[in-house]
Amino acid sequence: MTRHGARGTRYTGAYRDPDGATRSAGSFSTRRDALRAANREEQKVLAGAWHDNAHGDITFRAYVEKEWLPNKHVEASTRAAYISYLDKHFFPFFGHRRLNKISPSLVQDWVTQAKADGLAPRSIRKYHVFLSSVFVRAVKDRVLVYNPCDHTELPKVITGKARTLAPDEYERLLAALPQQHRLMIETLIEAGLRWGELVALKPRHIDFLRRTLIVEETIVEVSKKHSPTGQRYLAKPYPKDNEPRTFGVRQAWLDNMAEHIRVNGIGHDDLLFPTRAGTPISRNTFRTRVWLPAVKASGVDFPVRVHDLRHAHASWLLAGGADLMSVMERMGHSQIQTTQKYLHTLPDTDQRNLDALTRVQTRRDP
């Protein structure tokens, strides 16, 4: 296309986009330059690398709500978590910005601000992975030509040596709990369950004759604001690894559980540990009103989370001689490396190693 004006003759490079529409590759002073520009764009179209810059004019929030989130095929609880992440961490910072104006330096600014606001390095890394997944999808959709999360400098995660609750410390903590909550906590030590698996337990999950427990359900607690169903508790048919798991439990726990079911008149399909209203127990409510006061009253001199009882379960099993594979299956771990981290974590493990070394050295053949 040729155009004449005050600056002389100008040539526009024209080409067709993937939809067959005529596009301009720019205006040039020579026909040769215009043809070169048009050919470059045509080659991009043929190679599938052509990008319409206008697509990136959509805002971050609009793209997420109209394109990214509706096409995420995830469980309701996961979707609720995504919406929570977006509302709390990303819409306030990126929501109003156009997608093609979000640069690597802007993402770096978000990381810097999140760190300054006190967000832990591990959490920053988790949320950065989430943010990157939005841009990965935008690149695949050809809304963007690159992912601005690539090469972000993230704060270093320093992993401290975890301290495992010892049996005597556990007994002190258990004694500090109100009587009505002790069996629930004993169940965590007995079975090494996750919180959602614990509060989803029902009598039908216990086989008193075979002395086994089956874990096939979990309950996730979400904000009603972010719940797609408007419900606070979302039941899922399977636990984290999507496969039910069955494992043995001891007779003493079974006896206590049978008495608990009898005394409280718990039905076959009723929750074993509900609130007075019959709903699942809220993890945060239990933590603040029951657990933390009990930890303080017990005199245990380091922070202990409810989830740490699951860690203690695995550590005690391994310290007592259980094999890695059976503990892995019992815990529902998908990788044995996850189970291995519970080896040698009890406070007296090193001393027991030294005692074993001494026994071997001082052993005398008859």
- pLDDT over 90 (residue 152): yes
Q: pTM score, two decimals?
A: 0.71
- pLDDT over 80 (residue 52): no
pLDDT digits (tens, 9 = 90+) for 53-104: 555 578 999 999 998 998 888 877 788 889 989 999 999 999 999 998 899 9
Instruction: Assign 267 a pLDDT band (cuts: 50, 70, 90).
Output: very high
- pLDDT over 90 (residue 123): yes
Q: In the chain, pLDDT over 70 holds for what percent of residues?
A: 86
Q: Which residue has the higher pLDDT, 40 or 49?
A: 40
- pLDDT over 60 (residue 1): no
- pLDDT over 80 (residue 333): yes
How high is the mean pLDDT of the chain? 85
pLDDT of amino acid 36: 86
Per mean pLDDT, which range of 65-69, 121-125, 258-262, 319-323 is the poorest?
A: 319-323
| 3-state per-residue secondary structure call for the chain | CEEEECCEEEEEEEEECCCCCEEEEEEECCHHHHHHHHHHHHHHHHHCCCCCHHHHHCEHHHHHHHHHHHHCCCCHHHHHHHHHHHHHHHHHHHCCCEHHHCCHHHHHHHHHHHHHCCCCHHHHHHHHHHHHHHHHHHHHCCCCCCCCCCCCCCCCCCCCCCCCCCHHHHHHHHHHCCHHHHHHHHHHHHHCCCHHHHHCCCHHHEECCCCEEEECCEEEECCCCCCCCCCCEEEECCCCCCCCEEEECCHHHHHHHHHHHHHHCCCCCCCCCECCCCCECCHHHHHHHHHHHHHHHHCCCCCCCCCHHHHHHHHHHHHCCCCHHHHHHHHCCCCHHHHHCCCCCCCCHHHHHHHHHHHHHHCCCC
pLDDT of amino acid 8: 66
pLDDT digits (tens, 9 = 90+) for 210-224: 999 999 988 888 776
